[in-house]
């Protein structure tokens, strides 16, 4: 089976006055047909930039090297007009802030139908009908009337629905969602997540969910990749990440979230220190300064992401953690 | 909770005048906070949870008289401070402090960490000697987990989490009785968030300060608070001990909030039946008649459009208050 997306040794660096910053440091992964992958990491971990590189949307001072194959087509170095035929139609991205991703002075009908007319050569009329159908699908009430409204006439949650409708209108094979519910209120976030779940179960579209919120990943994704300082530190099925995380950072993340369903526990297990400066990464493991289990090898040699069980990989020199959570060296 | 409350809020209203358009258009009030009652007892943490526009931050500011209340009383140790002048407030301010959401924006970029933390000292104890001032600042820095040798650094040299520690040190240095923490961890990364939550809990235990912890994140609020107040469109929906609120929520809005919050456990999430509520928060300029939650409430009936539900004890506990005509 060929993957929808196959990324190999992708590195993203930005040229800054203080020298180059490596935001993504040689990551390899694939996204299979119909699966939902969660990319979890803190700000600056490179989770967004990895997929900005996939979409060819890096800032002008950014440079991607390596290989990004979308349905066997190499995207790195692809000519922009050829790339434009793929992104926005076969592969779409939705962003965190629905207000700044819609053009404020254009009616949403125009913004929705444009892709259809452009990518699929549809007539204006067919495109409008399809747009109404899409708004219905993302559960915008009274879709026909709302089609001719401007973005400011929609609430935050509704705008995010419009964004999702826009991304889905060409029926993409891959949907990349970058923190789609972070800017929304809890009750509205629940509505959007419910919608994403529905979309996931309806077809064979693959979804990549980029988020800092492990709770969002738990309900939606079947596979999770945890990013730290520009590289993956652990990748696993969703149950393993939550119940048996093997990288100290992943363990720390899971332990540092207050939980509504587990009353009584007194203290969160915080990860000490702060994320490293990407310009001055240590020679060995990037997590060494915050890790409670650091030993000589961690300082001398950076661990590579390696498979240690079926469908599971981690970048750590430790043997792992046993069922009681004790470290095995 | 027993004993005398530190802070007792009765019928608090904060209305902002807004123009309805046009040069001579009449103003109409935006009712950000509309009749709120609650007490805060010494040493406890009261969590205030609500969505954006619910009025949670406005309450925090009105408590500190940073915004003048439109009506109601704010009793601090028995004295109503609502409507106090700046001069009258000043003597009270050393007992009540605030920590803001955005750590960097709430610190003066031209002042060193030491001067920022010492500012309340300079205001209230100007006679203090330089070496004692420095010693107290460094003691406070150590308490909040900052290295005392960082005293001469500027805010931009610190990370977000460290800046929030500076903000907390500034609020704590006068050993206040109450701190209003307005979304203190919302702008921080997950791993840093846990550090700050633990720090606040430790400091409270050590110094006995009362906290009003304002957040949109029910899981965080529940974790840090002894009691939780649920706010919707400027009105209190439910107040209860946090454990009780979690295990036995009685207001439909609290139930919806609990069900909406994603739980970081795939098994729980898969098995969960989400109680989704439709739509968005109505505009506080034009709140629904009767119960403000009725437009999104799954249990709303005709009566809800007419009668405003009072905040009353339910379920046999005098400290579990619910504002609903048809509570569980």
Query: Which CATH number fits the domain that encloses residue B299?
Result: 3.40.50.300
Question: Phi/psi of residue A19, each to 5°?
Answer: 110, 175
Give bridge partners of residue A10 from the DSSP assignment: A27
Number of domains composing chain B: 1
Domain A3-221: CATH superfamily is P-loop containing nucleotide triphosphate hydrolases (3.40.50.300)
pLDDT digits (tens, 9 = 90+) for A289-300: 999 999 999 999
Alpha carbons B14 and B4: distance in angstroms, whole number: 25
Question: Phi/psi of residue A131, each to 5°?
Answer: -65, -45
Contact A45, A281 (CB under 8 A): no
pTM confidence score: 0.89
Give bridge partners of residue A39 from the DSSP assignment: A210, A225
Question: Does the interface ipTM go beyond 0.95?
Answer: no
| Domain positions in chain A | 3-221, 250-328
Given CB atoms, is A168 within the 8 Å cutoff of chain B?
A: no
Which among A270, A273, A286, A292 is the top mutation candidate for probing chain B, defined by the most B β-carbons within 10 Å of its own β-carbon? Answer: A270
Chain A residues in contact with B193 by the CB 8 A cut-off are 256
Alpha carbons A149 and A103: distance in angstroms, whole number: 12
Closest chain B C-alpha to A287 CA, distance in angstroms: 13
Handedness of CA A222, A228, A230, A235 (dihedral sign): negative
B259 and A186 within 8 Å at the Cβ level: the answer is no
Closest chain B C-alpha to A135 CA, distance in angstroms: 15
pLDDT (0 to 100) of residue A114: 87
When pLDDT is cut at 50, 70 and 90, the band that residue B308 belongs to is very high
Output the tens digit of pLDDT for each of chain A's 329 residues. Answer: 579 999 999 999 999 988 899 999 999 999 999 999 999 998 889 999 999 999 999 999 999 999 999 999 999 999 999 999 899 889 999 988 777 788 899 999 999 998 888 888 899 999 999 999 989 888 888 889 999 999 988 888 888 889 999 988 888 999 999 998 887 888 888 888 888 888 888 878 999 999 988 888 998 999 999 999 999 999 999 999 999 999 999 999 998 888 887 765 568 888 988 888 888 899 999 999 999 999 999 999 999 999 999 999 999 999 999 988 888 88
B117 to each of A316, B20, B121, B180, how far by Cα in Å? 40, 43, 8, 17
Closest chain A C-alpha to B238 CA, distance in angstroms: 17
What tokens were used for B112?
A: 């060193």
Contact A281, A265 (CB under 8 A): no
pLDDT (0 to 100) of residue A55: 95
B110 to each of A202, B114, B152, how far by Cα in Å? 55, 12, 11
Q: Cβ–Cβ contacts within 10 Å for residue B221, how many?
A: 25
pLDDT (0 to 100) of residue A203: 78
pLDDT (0 to 100) of residue A265: 59
pLDDT digits (tens, 9 = 90+) for B178-202: 999 999 998 888 888 899 999 999 9
Closest CA to A182 of A194, A193, A171: A193
When pLDDT is cut at 50, 70 and 90, the band that residue B5 belongs to is very high
Chain A residues in contact with B144 by the CB 8 A cut-off are none
| Percentage of chain A exceeding pLDDT 90 | 60
Give bridge partners of residue A177 from the DSSP assignment: A94, A209
Give bridge partners of residue A80 from the DSSP assignment: none
User: What is the CA A244 to chain-centroid distance, rounded?
Assistant: 22
Cα torsion A118, A180, A275, B212 to 10°: value is: 150
Q: Is residue B169 part of a domain?
A: no
When pLDDT is cut at 50, 70 and 90, the band that residue B21 belongs to is low
User: What is the CA A179 to chain-centroid distance, rounded?
Assistant: 7
Given CB atoms, is A214 within the 8 Å cutoff of chain B?
A: yes
Chain A residues in contact with B47 by the CB 8 A cut-off are none
Q: What is the DSSP code (8-state) at residue A184? A: S
Q: Cβ–Cβ contacts within 10 Å for residue A265, how many?
A: 11
- CB nearest to A185's CB, from B216, B259, B270: B216
- CB nearest to A193's CB, from B216, B246, B262: B262
Burial track B88-114 (b if 16+ CB lie within 10 A, e otherwise): ebeebbbebbbbbbebbebbeeeebbb
Q: What is the DSSP code (8-state) at residue B88? A: H
Range of the domain at B70: 1-18+29-89+228-328
Q: Is residue B268 part of a domain?
A: yes
Given CB atoms, is B28 within the 8 Å cutoff of chain A?
A: no
């Amino acid at each position: 089976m060929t993957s929808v997306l196959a990324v190999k040794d992708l590195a993203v660096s930005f040229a800054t006055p203080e020298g180059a910053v490596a935001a993504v440091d040689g990551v390899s992964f694939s996204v299979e047909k119909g699966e939902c992958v969660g990319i979890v990491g803190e700000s600056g971990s490179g989770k967004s930039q990895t997929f900005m590189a996939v979409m060819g949307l890096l800032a002008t001072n950014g440079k991607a090297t390596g290989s990004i194959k979308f349905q066997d087509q190499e995207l790195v170095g692809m000519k922009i007009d050829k790339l434009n035929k793929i992104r926005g139609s076969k592969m779409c991205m939705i962003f965190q802030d629905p207000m700044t991703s819609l053009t404020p002075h254009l009616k949403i009908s125009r913004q929705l139908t444009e892709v259809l007319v452009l990518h699929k050569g549809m007539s204006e009329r067919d495109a409008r009908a399809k747009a109404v159908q899409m708004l219905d699908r993302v559960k915008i009430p009274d879709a026909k009337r709302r089609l001719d409204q401007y973005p400011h006439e929609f609430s935050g949650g509704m705008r995010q629905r419009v964004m999702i409708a826009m991304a889905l209108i060409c029926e993409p094979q891959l949907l990349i969602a970058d923190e789609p519910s972070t800017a929304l209120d809890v009750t509205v976030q629940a509505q959007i997540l419910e919608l994403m779940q529905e979309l996931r179960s309806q077809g064979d579209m693959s979804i990549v969910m980029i988020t800092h919120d492990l709770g969002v990943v738990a309900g939606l994704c079947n596979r999770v990749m945890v990013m730290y300082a520009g590289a993956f530190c652990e990748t696993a099925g969703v149950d393993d990440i939550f119940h048996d995380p093997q990288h100290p950072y992943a363990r720390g993340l899971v332990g540092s979230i207050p939980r509504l369903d587990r009353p009584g526990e007194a203290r969160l297990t915080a990860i000490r220190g702060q994320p490293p400066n990407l310009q001055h990464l240590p020679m060995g493991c990037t997590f060494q300064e915050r890790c409670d289990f650091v030993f000589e090898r961690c300082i001398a040699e950076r661990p590579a992401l390696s498979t240690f069980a079926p469908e599971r990989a981690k970048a750590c020199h430790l043997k792992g953690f046993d069922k009681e959570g004790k470290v095995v060296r | 909770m027993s004993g005398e409350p530190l802070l007792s809020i009765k019928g608090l209203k904060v209305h902002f005048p807004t123009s309805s358009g046009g040069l001579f258009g009449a103003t109409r009030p935006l009712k950000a906070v509309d009749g709120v009652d609650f007490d805060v007892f010494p040493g406890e943490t009261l969590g205030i949870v609500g969505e954006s526009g619910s009025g949670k931050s406005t309450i925090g500011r009105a408590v500190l008289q940073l915004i003048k209340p439109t009506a109601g009383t704010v009793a601090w140790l028995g004295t109503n401070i609502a409507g106090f002048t700046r001069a009258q407030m000043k003597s009270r301010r050393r007992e009540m402090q605030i920590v803001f959401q955005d750590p960097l924006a709430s610190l003066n970029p031209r002042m060193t960490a030491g001067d920022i933390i010492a500012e309340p000292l300079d205001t209230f104890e100007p006679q203090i000697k330089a070496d004692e001032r420095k010693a107290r600042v460094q003691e406070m820095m150590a308490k909040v987990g900052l290295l005392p040798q960082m005293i001469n650094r500027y805010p931009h040299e610190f990370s977000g989490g460290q800046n929030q520690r500076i903000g907390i040190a500034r609020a704590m240095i006068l050993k206040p009785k109450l701190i209003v923490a307005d979304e203190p961890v919302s702008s921080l990364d997950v791993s840093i968030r846990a550090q700050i939550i633990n720090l606040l809990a430790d400091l409270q235990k050590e110094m006995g300060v009362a906290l009003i912890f304002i957040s949109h994140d029910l899981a965080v609020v529940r974790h840090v608070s002894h009691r939780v107040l649920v706010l919707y469109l400027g009105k209190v929906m439910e107040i209860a001990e946090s454990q009780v609120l979690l295990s036995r929520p009685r207001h439909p809005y609290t139930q919806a909030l609990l069900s909406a919050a994603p739980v970081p456990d795939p098994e729980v999430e898969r098995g969960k039946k989400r109680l989704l509520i439709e739509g968005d928060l109505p505009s506080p300029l034009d709140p629904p008649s009767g119960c403000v939650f009725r437009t999104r409430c799954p249990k709303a009936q005709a009566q809800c459009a007419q009668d405003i539900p009072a905040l009353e004890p339910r379920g046999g506990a005098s400290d579990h208050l619910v504002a609903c005509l048809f509570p569980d």
